[in-house]
Homo-oligomer: A and B are copies of this chain.
Amino acid sequence: MNIAILGYGTVGSGVKEIIDHAVTKSTKQLHVSYILIRKGKAKTLPYMCDDIRTILQDTSVDIIVETMGGLEPAHTYILQALKSGKHVVTANKAVIAAYLKEFTDVAREHNVRIYYEASTGGGIPWIEGLAKAMRIDEVDRIHGIFNGTSNYILDHMQRYHASFEDILKEAQELGYAEADPSADIDGYDICNKLRISASLAYDYHVPDTFPVFGIRNITKQDVSYFSSLGYAVRLIAKTRRNANRYGCVVEPVLFEAGSLESNTQDNYNLITLHGKTIGDLKFFGQGAGKLPTANAIVQDLIDLNEGVCHMDPSFTNTMSYDETLCLRDYILRADEAARDELQDFSYEVKSFEGQEYLHIQKAEVYEMHQVMERMLKTDVHAFMASIYEREDD
């Protein structure tokens, strides 16, 4: 198999490293014939090029590995590759979340395939695990820690009694968090991964209109308060379905101290699916990083080389977003002025003498996020987390 790698950053060079140091029969059959680098960059390897057309026109190239990230030109290049009869493998969650249906349609038309195991859960065989479960069960619930950076921050804040700012800085120094950490801490990275997972589970291209609340406002005191109640907080993406209705949300969630989520440390990911016959299945591993992500890409390359078919969704199901599908208990911190937003609130709100936290019972997730949005206009530091409740089978 002749492979062209688009982009030669962390993940792209990881793919080349695994192929160069192939130790198995499967990996020895892979061959990198092009690396696309940006115009003007030094060509440090003989097969580097800076013009996508060279790669697209070379009929000996079987697979394009896209590791550039972002929407454009990734979107255009992927479409061009598929239309040129080349398979595509990508780790790019943003482009897959946005164009999943278009890519799948175009690939089918041109009798090629697009695989994206690395886009969600990094090195964890999550998309394959989901696809496999769906061969027998309707997967009706998914929830998980899909983002290593936010998990590192929350885990270390709790274990080392530290502030958000201090741990974020530490994570940036270690290379776990980017200079602009917004995508990780505001939940938008996770949002893409949830869209991909839910779209596959429901065979319906889920729009990005579900509620997302991140961890930017969490304080050392919040974490201590949650600990005192026996909880650890994790940034969670969650979806559930009931027939053709579904709900999706990204928000901080409180888990009991003895749960696997509470004990998922550092920058690890933990993703759970539920099906009627299989029950709960959980997958744990490195959700990012050079070699784990490259490993997932190389797994896709091997599948293409060995003719292993992944699930073949058409995204033609009819599903509707149901605001009322999820009811949760929440713990909320907001100042007095912001609390006015709760006056017309129909749920039970408990406040405690001298305590800045409110406990809200069985609130609709969607409504809760709307209230929070209004509160943030008054108290820009407000924070909330829902309480995880194991649903019955």
Contact check, B132 vs A299: say whether CB atoms are below 8 A apart: yes
Contact check, B26 vs A135: say whether CB atoms are below 8 A apart: yes
Residue of B135, B277, B285 near A281 (CB, 8 A) is B285
Q: Which residues in chain A, 276-304, are within 8 Å of chain B measured between CB atoms?
A: 276-286, 289, 291-292, 294-295, 298-299, 302
Given known contacts A26-B135, A277-B291, A279-B286, A263 and B265 CB-to-CB distance under 8 angstroms = no
Which of A24, A285, A295, A308 is packed against the most chain B CB atoms within 10 Å? A295
What are the interface flags for A117-142 relative to B under an 8 Å C-beta threshold, 1 for contact and 0 otherwise?
A: 00000011100110010111110000
Q: Which residues in chain A, 252-293, are within 8 Å of chain B measured between CB atoms?
A: 258-260, 262-265, 275-286, 289, 291-292
Contact check, A134 vs B24: say whether CB atoms are below 8 A apart: yes
Contact check, B124 vs A281: say whether CB atoms are below 8 A apart: yes
* A125 CA / B262 CA spacing, docked (Å): 24
Residue of B18, B128, B132, B278 near A286 (CB, 8 A) is B278
Contact check, B258 vs A123: say whether CB atoms are below 8 A apart: no
With both chains docked as a complex, state the minimum distance between the C-beta of A70 and any C-beta of chain B, in angstroms: 25
A275 contact set on B, CB distance < 8 A: 295
Contact check, B23 vs A137: say whether CB atoms are below 8 A apart: yes
Given known contacts A277-B18, A295-B277, A285 and B285 CB-to-CB distance under 8 angstroms = no
With both chains docked as a complex, state the minimum distance between the C-beta of A37 and any C-beta of chain B, in angstroms: 23
Contact check, B295 vs A136: say whether CB atoms are below 8 A apart: yes
Contact check, A135 vs B278: say whether CB atoms are below 8 A apart: no
Contact check, B278 vs A292: say whether CB atoms are below 8 A apart: yes
A224 within 8 A of B: no
Chain B residue nearest in CB terms to A285: B281
Residue of B27, B136, B258 near A18 (CB, 8 A) is B136
Contact check, B282 vs A278: say whether CB atoms are below 8 A apart: no
* A298 CA / B280 CA spacing, docked (Å): 17
With both chains docked as a complex, state the minimum distance between the C-beta of A17 and any C-beta of chain B, in angstroms: 8
A264 contact set on B, CB distance < 8 A: 260
Which of A24, A278, A291 is packed against the most chain B CB atoms within 10 Å? A278
* A47 CA / B129 CA spacing, docked (Å): 34
With both chains docked as a complex, state the minimum distance between the C-beta of A256 and any C-beta of chain B, in angstroms: 10
Contact check, B135 vs A299: say whether CB atoms are below 8 A apart: yes
* A154 CA / B275 CA spacing, docked (Å): 27
Contact check, B136 vs A27: say whether CB atoms are below 8 A apart: yes
Which of A138, A277, A302 is packed against the most chain B CB atoms within 10 Å? A277
Contact check, A291 vs B263: say whether CB atoms are below 8 A apart: no
With both chains docked as a complex, state the minimum distance between the C-beta of A266 and any C-beta of chain B, in angstroms: 11
* A339 CA / B205 CA spacing, docked (Å): 66
Given known contacts A136-B298, A299-B136, A279 and B263 CB-to-CB distance under 8 angstroms = no
* A363 CA / B271 CA spacing, docked (Å): 37
Contact check, B125 vs A129: say whether CB atoms are below 8 A apart: yes
Contact check, B27 vs A135: say whether CB atoms are below 8 A apart: yes
With both chains docked as a complex, state the minimum distance between the C-beta of A363 and any C-beta of chain B, in angstroms: 28
Q: A279-B289, A280-B284, A282-B282 are in contact. List 6 more A-B contacts (CB 8 A).
A: A18-B277, A136-B298, A159-B258, A258-B265, A279-B291, A280-B286
The 9 closest A-B pairs by CB, nearest first: A282-B284, A26-B135, A277-B291, A281-B285, A277-B295, A263-B263, A278-B295, A279-B286, A123-B278
What are 13 A-B pairs with beta-carbon distances under 8 A? A18-B136, A24-B134, A24-B135, A26-B135, A123-B278, A123-B279, A123-B281, A260-B284, A262-B263, A277-B291, A277-B295, A278-B285, A280-B285
